[in-house]
A and B are shown apart, each in its own frame.
Chain A
Amino acid sequence: MLKTFPLGGIHPPEFKLTSGSPIKQLPLPQTVAIMVSQHIGAPASLLVNKGDSVKTGQLIASINGFVSSNIHSSVSGNISKIDTIIDTTGYRQTAVFIDVAGDEWVDTIDRSSELVRDINLKPEEITEKCRESGIVGLGGATFPSHVKLTVPTGKKCNLLIINGVECEPYLTSDHRLMLEKGEEILVGISILMKALGVEQAMIGIENNKSDAIAHLTRLSSDYKGITVYPLAVKYPQGAEKQLIKALINREVPSGRLPLDVGAVVHNVGTAYAVYEAVQKNKPLFERVVTITGKSVTNPGNYLVRTGTAVRHLIEAAGGMPDDTGKIVNGGPMMGKALNNTEVPVVKGTSGIILFPSDESIRPELKPCIRCAKCISACALNLEPYLLANLSARGLFERAEIEKITDCMECGSCSYTCPANRPLLDYIRLGKSTVIKMARQRNIK
């Protein structure tokens, strides 16, 4: 039996159309718009002005507090303006607009492709390097990595878990990275292990990526303490708590962090970014993005500079299909729909999916038949029908008692509901209201 998490979960069709497409470099656009907030936490503070010229990899906005991140230029050229741009959440955010001229990198970056295995930095220096290089979690959450590498006093970390699950349908960027940059990822993991002072790292990969499992298993024999674990395919296994449960059978208590069971989880993409930062001195300004969809002519995986408009990716994939009805940034289960293609790629962009119009429209709403399928689908054993009901009726105190804030918004309940109830829409509303209520209570 392959390992997996026991409670709930779903098996959406995979549609990993691009798992066989090697990563290609996306040609540089003429302009980029680099947002100062590409991470969880405070937006970075601008260091540049209109008219300045910058190099690829140059720091253009600096970390603003502990939970924040540096932002580097992804191109060389001149800053044409500092303005706002609508991001994936629909809000206007400050961005640095750069007219691209050539591609001149900061000269401290080692651009050779030679593998550097020896780790010379001390643990604190590694954490500092990640902070400097603007490394954030690349699985989608974009939580600043140096924060996760700083184990608070009193807590002990004894295991590093590497998330190579990529459980969202369609997305293949992590899969390709594991196949093409296996050694680099393993060195990155060793670096993370050194920073955390742990002897053991587990890489969890779902069994639908058997080539990546085989590849990393073979390579990992050269790396001390790193083991690859194949996992049964089940969504949402990429969620930290579910992955920990699957690998070491421990439940992270509600409202707590993986560190409470002695583990820290990083994504494979992050491990690669850490390798580049520590061994190659390269800050985080580009990442692998999957561009895909059933009607897309040339779906593929591209190495994209941050700030590149989504439009360029779509063009590289053969243009927007005529039947496109929805553009999703991220996976189909948790991604966000976009209403325009000028939205820039950010550090957390894992994929862009173009859905044909017949798949973009939600199926007809019916009354709840109390079939309990939403409960069986929920990996946290919440009662989605009840949470949605309580939120819809404004009974937020009860929703709080029913643990609405535990919901990780994985969408399994809405996906499963035979009556097509928009469960997660209501739960989100309730969850944000309950969080707001709790905050106000704390102020008082």
Chain B
Amino acid sequence: MSNPLNISPSPHIHGKESTEKLMYGVVLALMPALFASIYFFGTGAIIVTATSVISCISFEYLIQRFILRKPLSINDGSAIVTGLLLALNLPSNIPVPVIIIGSLVAIGVAKMTFGGLGNNPFNPALAGRVFMLISFPVQMTSWPVPSGFKTGYIDAVTGATPLSIIKEGIKNGESLSQLMEKVPSTANMIFGNMGGSIGEVSALALIIGMIYMLYQKIITWHIPVSIIGSIAVFTALLWLINPESNADPMFHILAGGVLLGAIFMATDYVTSPMSPVAMLIYGCGIGILTVIIRVWGAYPEGVSFAILIMNAFVPLMNTYIKPKRFGEEVKNG
């Protein structure tokens, strides 16, 4: 016998799934949204994305190599996913240094201090984004209007997002029907021709990404459907009660970061619950909090906050919401 025999315990075969495959699957699913953002925001989108991805990978490398002195894990793809998601949540004219600071917070604070991939309670990209929003409110809320490659970088023409038009307008006492004239048409919102973070504008591109991830079994339907569904139901109620001061459900779902958040941010494995029932509760929590923040809160948009708040409940949900075990309920028929 030439080789020593391996006697490790069963199972003796392993499936084809791997962390890398899943992470690169998410990267691939984000490509339509990235292309849409480049189409609408031009060079700005490229600069933002490249900066964010490169800084996330670099920070992960530097921290693991020189501070933690642990084995490197940068090729597992998770830093690229964080970098992409952070970028897609930013306006296309955000100054490069601000992106680098955001990446440092995402990777260095939100991910590595908790022990790296698998241990972080909060979604790193969102933690980075919310930090930037609080620290650089002006830069983070000046939204270039989409104009393709004609858009300059820092000196881009800026305008308001559909959500802020509504929020400001209602505050100033304008009626909703007047305001709806000012926001982009539904078709423009579906394709992505509106102001906003580079990755959130095109509903179509995001949905293509979702279908791909569902097909590849990277995610399950529970989280996106419960978020979008609960937002639809909640805003429909408000709209039916008072259509003059509440936008319709379609508008709420297409405007802002609902789809990006529901499909890509809230489904982050590490920071979302494990059992299907808990996923549904988590999703509904995000949906309801989003609407509350949008309608009654200080910010026009609430998806990021909603996800981060629900992230905090995930450990609790994992402890107390259990899948129904096989043979648990005695069904004697």
Q: Which residues of A contact B (CB under 8 A)?
A: 7, 10, 12, 169, 241, 245, 250-254, 256, 261, 320, 322-328, 332-340, 353, 355, 357, 359-363, 366-373, 375-376, 379-383, 385-386, 402-403, 406, 409, 411-412, 414-420, 424-425, 428
Contacts and interface: CB of A to CB of B under 8 A. Distances in A.
A324 B15 contact: no
A62 to B, nearest CB: 33
Given A334-B11, A380-B325, A416-B15, A369 B22 contact: yes
User: Which 8 A-B residue pairs are closest in the complex by CB-CB distance?
Assistant: A411-B11, A367-B118, A380-B326, A418-B17, A337-B7, A360-B6, A381-B323, A371-B269
B13 A254 contact: no
A416 B15 CA distance: 5
Contacts, number: 164
A419 B10 CA distance: 17
B150 interface: no
Interface string B307-333: 000000000001000111111111111
23 contacts: A10-B15, A12-B13, A241-B326, A252-B327, A254-B328, A256-B327, A320-B1, A324-B5, A325-B3, A325-B5, A326-B5, A326-B8, A333-B13, A336-B10, A337-B12, A367-B73, A369-B19, A369-B269, A381-B324, A406-B327, A418-B17, A418-B21, A424-B10
A375 B22 contact: no
Interface string B131-165: 00000000000000000000000000000000000
A366 B78 CA distance: 12
Most buried by A among B116, B118, B329: B118
B14 A415 contact: yes
B172 interface: no
Nearest to A261: B332
Nearest to A410: B11
A375 B323 contact: yes
Contacts of A372: 269, 274-275
Contacts of B118: 367-370, 419
A363 B330 CA distance: 39
B119 A367 contact: yes
A323 B78 CA distance: 35
Interface in B103-133: 116-119
Main secondary structure of the interface of A (DSSP, over half): loop
Given A338-B5, A359-B13, A381-B323, 20 more contacts: A250-B331, A251-B326, A254-B325, A325-B6, A327-B5, A336-B10, A337-B5, A337-B6, A337-B8, A337-B9, A367-B73, A367-B118, A370-B270, A383-B274, A383-B322, A403-B325, A415-B13, A415-B15, A417-B17, A419-B19
Most buried by B among A256, A363, A414: A414
Nearest to A11: B15
B2 interface: yes
Contact of B326 (A376, A381, A385): A381
Nearest to B20: A418
A361 B10 contact: no
A341 to B, nearest CB: 8
B18 interface: yes
B76 interface: yes
A363 B328 contact: no
Contacts of A328: 10, 12
Interface in B1-41: 1-3, 5-15, 17-19, 21-22
A241 B19 CA distance: 32
A169 B327 contact: no
B18 A324 contact: no
Contact of A335 (B10, B78, B323): B10
Most buried by A among B5, B117, B272, B326: B326
Given A324-B1, A380-B325, A381-B323, A362 B8 contact: yes
Most buried by B among A169, A327, A337: A337
Nearest to A359: B13
A336 B10 CA distance: 6
B17 A416 contact: yes
Contacts of A357: 3, 6
Contacts of B328: 253-254
B162 to A, nearest CB: 34
Contact of B11 (A383, A418, A424): A424
B9 A425 contact: yes
Nearest to A333: B11
A371 B22 contact: yes
